[in-house]
Amino acid sequence: MALRLLHQDEHISVYFDYANDWLYADWTGDQSGESVRAGCGRMLELLRQEQCHKVLNDNRRVTSMWLDASEWGGKEWFPAMTEAGLQYFAWIYSPNVYSRLSTDLTLEHTTRPVVLTFDNPETAASWLRQM
């Protein structure tokens, strides 16, 4: 991967992947509504900055539930991301069952962009490349 680090804090690292022309977001550790909103806000800024249309969102290292941000993510953040140009979003599940539940609840509130969930990062990247 040809990655350039765009943002890093204790909850998320966001990279631009030159080889694939997408944002790669690597979330880490316990997440809260506040950390999710902050990280998502940064992703929105960076999507606009890089003018790309795809995101590979990696939750494999997320260790907690973040239900208090799920409705906001689906009803406010995804529409804002779509307006900024996002078309395809590959979401790699956390192995943590509560984090997975938070992801699924977010997607219940999401109509656009096209979002698919994956357990395997290679499958997620492969799907995103084909879009």
The residue ranges of every structural domain in the chain are: 3-130
pTM of this prediction? 0.95
Q: Over 70: is that where the pLDDT of 1 sits? A: no
Q: Over 80: is that where the pLDDT of 13 sits? A: yes
The alpha carbon of 125 is separated from its chain's Cα centroid by a whole number of angstroms, namely 13
What letter represents residue 24's amino acid?
Y
CATH number assigned to the domain covering 3-130: 3.40.50.10600
Per-residue pLDDT tens digits for 22-62: 999 999 999 999 999 999 999 999 999 999 999 999 999 99
Per-residue pLDDT tens digits for 75-125: 999 999 999 999 999 999 999 999 999 999 999 998 889 999 999 999 999
